[in-house]
């Protein structure tokens, strides 16, 4: 394995991480902004009002996207193990 292959593996790992965590983080961000806007408009400053919708929606999005996340992570793991086998056969 040379430096180019190691960099390629790191690049793929970062992309997989973004594919898996991105939708969850984006959901939390959008829900947080919407709740903050509602709190500003209604002048209700309750701290629990920000956490409960975020937790519920991030959990729901996690359950909804779990098959996609597992497929993405499984595909990355499979390609990584194929590379390990190739290095083992060449070494």
27-67 pLDDT, tens digit per residue, is 999 999 999 898 888 888 777 778 888 999 999 999 999 99
**Site of tokens 């898996």:** 20
The predicted-structure confidence for 8-21, as pLDDT tens digits, reads as follows 999 999 999 999 99
- Using CA atoms, how far residue 39 sits from 31, 34, 43, 49, 81, in Å, is 12, 9, 5, 9, 49
Please answer whether residues 39 and 45 qualify as being in contact, where contact means their C-beta atoms are separated by less than 8 angstroms. Answer: yes
Q: Could you tell me the pTM of the whole model?
A: 0.79
d(CA 31, CA 53): 7
How far is Cα of residue 12 from the mean position of the Cα atoms in its chain?
14
Q: Which structure tokens are listed for 73? A: 């992570």
Q: How confident is the model at residue 91 (pLDDT cuts 50, 70, 90)?
A: low
Query: Which position has the token pair 């992570």?
Result: 73
């Amino acid at each position: 394995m040379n430096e180019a292959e190691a960099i390629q593996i790191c690049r793929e790992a970062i992309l997989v991480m973004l594919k898996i965590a991105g939708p969850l983080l984006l959901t939390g961000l959008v829900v947080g902004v919407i709740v903050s806007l509602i709190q500003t408009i209604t002048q209700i400053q309750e701290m629990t009002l920000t956490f409960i919708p975020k937790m519920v929606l991030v959990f729901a999005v996690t359950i909804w996207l779990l098959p996609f996340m597992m497929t993405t992570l499984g595909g990355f793991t499979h390609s990584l193990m194929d590379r390990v086998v190739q290095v083992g056969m060449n070494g």
